[in-house]
Amino acid sequence: MTTILQSILLWLLYLSSFYAFIPSLISRLFGFRVFRRGRSDTQFALTFDDGPDPHYTPRLLDLLRQHQAKATFFVVGEHAASHPELIQRIHEEGHLIGIHNYIHKTNWLMRPRTVRDQIQRTGQIIHEVTGVKTCYYRPPWGIMNLFDFFSKKERKIVLWSSMFEDWRSRVGAQRLTERMLKELRGGEVMLLHDRGTTLGADAYAPEQMLQALEVVLQEAERLGLQSVRVDTLMGGIIVSESQNKTQLQTPLKLWKRIVVALWLGWEKLFHCGYTIYGRLRQRTPCCTSDHVYITEHGWR
């Protein structure tokens, strides 16, 4: 069996079991095993993806400090490695740092081990700079796969309750401000971006975001609302399996529980089958250098 045929069969297996589509659908519709909205009446969370950026992130930090606001930064590992001074400043000024993969690539297009390596590599960079380990994770575009759910004990997956297309310059600062003010309320988890170099984004879009955010922070102060870190909005808890169950999982209606239970049963079967198949592949004799790499290091 050729390497190309093996890859085709593997991808067909992914698609046939809805490797990524159903997990993302379940999490978005039901909020299952993810955090996307808090229960506070006076606190909300500003979250920033894709950074840090040497031009926009320092200005954003200045703005947050001016309004005594705390935020959460889901950083891309390669940018964090290039700008450790910004990671250190984010940490020293009391903001929360989370993981957004080492490169900005969807989990749908990566195998489980590749996703795990991306997360671990980014987490290591953050730990080396700040001395603190992070367990908060937001997959790029909020797209998850099956294995993100089965690694739940290792990290908290954080999505959002509102986003505003702030990565597009055509939205404009005024319309962006209006969109953000419309969603300004307690418990909200706002998705914003402090870097515009990722696929589909406009390089100068963060300039408009900063203009809109200043107005929003002023209005928040007038309304008595406070911008806090995601972990604060969760209740200031530390990760543990038992706390995950009580803090992140909103009780589901009966029909939703049935749907989720059926899906989890099917996906566990797939998970077991994938594991067994991988072990069998490791025992298969190989001749080429590519095959040796797969045998010695597992799926990649």
Residue in 36, 88, 99, 102 with CA at minimum distance from that of residue 57: 88
- Which position among 49, 50, 148, 194 bears the catalytic label? 49
- Which residues lie below 8 Å from residue 70, measured CB to CB, with a gap of 6+? 64, 94, 95, 96, 227, 228, 229, 232
Q: Is 297 known to be catalytic?
A: no
Q: Is 49 known to be catalytic?
A: yes
- Which position among 91, 95, 193, 194 bears the catalytic label? 193
CA distance 137 to 158: 6
Alpha helix positions (H), the chain: 3-16, 21-30, 56-66, 77-82, 84-92, 112-130, 146-150, 173-182, 205-223, 230-234, 241-247, 254-283, 289-297
Residue 194 in contact with residue 55, Cβ under 8 Å?
no
Q: What is the three-class DSSP state of 79?
A: helix
Question: Counting every residue, how long is the chain?
Answer: 300
HEC assignment per residue over 123-165 = HHHHHHHHCCCCCEECCHHHCCCHHHHHCCCCCEEECCCEECC
Sign of the torsion formed by the C-alpha atoms of 284, 287, 293 and 294: negative
Q: What is the three-class DSSP state of 217?
A: helix
Which residues are part of the catalytic machinery?
A: 49, 193
